[in-house]
Amino acid sequence: MKQEDLETNFELTLVKELNSAKLSSEEHSADMVDMVDGILMDLEEPEIDTQSIKTKLFKMIDDLQYQDINRQKIERVMNLLIEDANISDEVLECENIAKAPSAHCIDDNDCEVVSDEELEALITQAKN
């Protein structure tokens, strides 16, 4: 793909935008970790409001799960666009875009491969 073709390539433009959203999501997750540090500091206070801390922790866990699910969805769309448009690894490297592996393992112990349909069903079930 020539440079002038890259600048007008619709799929590559979409991948760039999705990559930006993915990076923003990752940054938000890092901010959540900082919030955990703040809560840990709260735990060192002489008078601890345990209910308030529990509420904050559960909210943070929900936020982290939401962010992670969104990141995974963005990565899957990016990978589909990259594959469909035949965007090479060299072009991705030039644009500073890391192609993410699509998640197909539920856990690392047995790594049973799940289909895209099964994965979508799990995500839908987790939302309910």
What one-letter code names the amino acid at 22? K
Alpha-carbon gap, residue 32 to 26, rounded angstroms:
10
**Residue 113 phi, psi dihedral angles, 5° rounding:** -75, 130
Residue with tokens 């890391």, as numbered in its chain: 98
Ranges of each domain in the chain: 3-100
Q: How far from chain centre, in Å, is Cα 88?
A: 22
The pLDDT profile of the chain, 128 residues, written as one tens digit per residue, is 555 555 567 777 778 888 887 777 777 777 787 888 888 888 888 888 888 888 888 888 888 888 887 778 788 877 877 877 787 888 888 887 877 776 555 455 555 566 677 767 766 776 66
Q: Residue 69 corresponds to which tokens in the numbers above?
A: 């699910």
Please give the model's pTM, rounded to 2 decimal places. Answer: 0.54
pLDDT of 6 reads: 54
Alpha-carbon gap, residue 29 to 96, rounded angstroms:
21
pLDDT of 106 reads: 47
Q: Which residues of 47-85 are buried (b: 16+ CB within 10 A; e: fewer)?
A: eeeeeeeeebeeeeeeebeebeebbbbbbbebbebbeeb
